[in-house]
Amino acid sequence: MVFNGFLLFCINNYMNEYKSDKQTADWLKENGWDEKTFTVIELPFLQAQQVAYCLMKYNAALLNEEQTDLLTNYLRDIKHKAKRHKITKKTVYRVLNLGSKINRQLFKAHKAIKNSR
């Protein structure tokens, strides 16, 4: 009787961990990250990946061709280990600065809409 209870506890605990791991993996994928590389990439590279992903997903209309190419290339390269090591800090900061620029544009547009009411 005690053994069956312990066995059910272990199975339940395993299933809860499995569900939690799956939810975490789904959330990371939904936000443009890969669970395998999430812990091995330096923080600025992850931040730039998040910025690039969000810009391409939500604000692609505000980007010109050069900016779109930069973000597409960054997202492609960050996924591959060999190419990831070739990404320079300069490229990372170009992506982050582009994110700040688009954010300022969105803020100004939102402010103009808010003031016109």
Blockwise average pLDDT, block size 10, the chain, 117 residues = 54 65 80 76 90 93 96 93 93 97 95 90
Number of compact structural domains in the chain? 2
Q: What is the pLDDT of residue 48?
A: 94
What's the pTM value of the predicted model, to 2 decimals?
Answer: 0.75
Q: What angle do CA 19, 22, 28 make, to 5 degrees?
A: 140
Same domain, 60 and 101: yes
Same domain, 39 and 91: yes
Same domain, 48 and 100: yes
Q: What is the 3-state secondary structure (H, E, C) of 65-90?
A: HHHHHHHHHHHHHHCCHHHHCCCCHH
Same domain, 13 and 63: no
State which residues form the domain around 61.
35-116
Same domain, 18 and 42: no
Q: What is the pLDDT of residue 73?
A: 96
